[in-house]
Amino acid sequence: MADDDSSEERSEDATPRRQEEARKRGQVARSRDLAMTLSLVAGSGSLLMFAPRMMDAVLHIMRENLVVSRAELFEPRTLPLHLADALWLAAHALFWPLAIMFLASIAGSVLLGGFMFSTEALLPKWERIDPMKGLGRMFSSRALLELAKALAKFFLVSFCCILILRHHRDELLGLGHESMPHVFVHMASLLLWAFFWMTASLLLVALIDAPAQWFTFMRELRMTRQEIKEEYKDSEGRPEVKARMRQMQRKMAEARMMAKLPQADVVITNPTHYAVAIRYKPEKDAAPILLAKGTDHMALQIRKLAKEHKIVMVEAPPLARSIYHTTDIDREIPAGLYMAVARILAWLHGLRLYQAGKGRHPGKTPVVDIPEDLRRDA
């Protein structure tokens, strides 16, 4: 595949394999605005929820550490104990806000492209520090998009701030007439709510940026038709390789088949075009089993091996064709052929008795009838 394919030629959507390869390289769709905004909204929301608890912890720390008795001042363990107590209270008060922000930051990162860990993405890439490529990135379309998003966030936050100031104008002007402890609580509440609404306004940018990042990522992964054809060849196997594998599998199957042929009781032939080897052991076979079958050259090999192992060969063209076309290797013959095969096996049994000097010659090979639904003319 040439490296100079134009973007117009990349008109095909990326295949699952292409997406998986990109994922292994650490390339997935990500929206930094979505992750940042969710983290900020979760942080501001958790501050609103746990502000009283955090304020109580601060007051407790100040009260316990600013009021120290004279005896405690001369005790060496006082400072470590007070420090440990303050750290425990601070950790206890900040645990849930920090935990919520941590979970929100993870959710924002994996929400679009899913969870991904790639060691390849950790490797240094020298093109990232190439000054010429860096200069090109500064004036690319992606850089212009980032500038547009930054301006959009600035105007959104500014507009939200103006709305908050107008809405709480009377409260802000009235803070000067409130008592000192109450004014701090009121001011903290106004600041927390203002922070929450300003961060929430950024969700508008994040909700636009996330689909845009996904679309851009999928567009960059697009493939040409030639790339899809090459991938299909690699995944499914090239025709010549598949043909070679099929040939090897066929040879292995034929070798296994010929290895079982000496177990056969009889070989039924066409006489030249078809040959099937049948085994029937009443003590372990519920019905006659097809051990080997073949046409033309393979039929010749079956007949040669049958002669070497002194297996009786019987000419019954209709039966040979029917068994060949209806039965797989190592499978029982169809029930409709039981009677025909039974007549052949009975004739074979009589022949063996005659050869052992225990009876008369069974005569010519019996003529067998093949059901119409199992008959094959060629």
At which of 173, 202, 222 does a domain end?
Answer: 222
Residue 340 counted as domain residue: yes
Looking at the structure, tell me whether residues 210 and 330 fall in a common domain: no
Domain of residue 168 covers 28-116+128-222
Is residue 262 within 8 A of residue 53, CB to CB? The reply is: no
Any idea of the CA torsion for 103, 109, 114, 117, to the nearest 10 degrees? -90
Write out the two tokens for 294. Answer: 């073949």
Q: Is residue 355 part of a domain?
A: yes
pTM exceeds 0.85: no
What is the count of structural domains for the chain? 2
pLDDT at position 277, please?
92
Q: What is the CATH number of the domain that holds 306?
A: 3.40.1690.10
Do 265 and 151 fall into the same domain? no
In a domain? residue 249: no
Per-residue pLDDT of the chain (378 residues; tens, 9 = 90+): 444 444 447 777 777 778 777 777 777 777 888 888 888 888 888 888 888 888 888 878 877 777 766 666 677 777 788 788 888 888 888 888 888 888 888 888 777 766 666 565 555 665 656 666 656 666 667 778 778 888 888 998 899 999 988 888 888 888 777 777 778 778 888 888 898 999 888 888 888 888 888 888 888 888 887 877 777 777 666 666 677 778 888 888 788 888 888 888 899 988 778 999 999 888 888 889 999 998 888 889 888 998 998 888 888 888 888 998 888 888 898 888 889 888 888 888 888 888 888 878 878 878 888 888 888 776
| Nearest in space to 305 (alpha carbons), one of 267, 331, 273, 274 | 267
Q: Domain for residue 283, yes or no? A: yes
Query: Hey, which bits of 155-214 come out as E strands?
Result: none
Same domain, 173 and 267: no
Verify that 212 and 275 share a domain, yes or no: no
Domain-embedded: residue 9: no
Order of strands, sheet of 289-295, starting from the edge strand that comes earlier in the sequence: 289-295, 274-279, 266-269, 312-315
Residue 282: inside a domain, yes or no?
yes
Do 216 and 268 lie in one domain? The reply is no
pLDDT at residue number 113: 67
CA distances from 257 to 290, 294, 307 (A): 10, 10, 16
Would you say residue 233 lies in a domain?
no
Alpha carbons 301 and 254: distance in angstroms, whole number: 11
Half-sphere exposure (CA, 13 Å, Cβ side) for 220?
A: 11
Is the domain of 323 the same as that of 177? no
> Does one domain contain both 107 and 169?
yes
Using DSSP's 3-state secondary structure scheme, residue 290 falls into strand
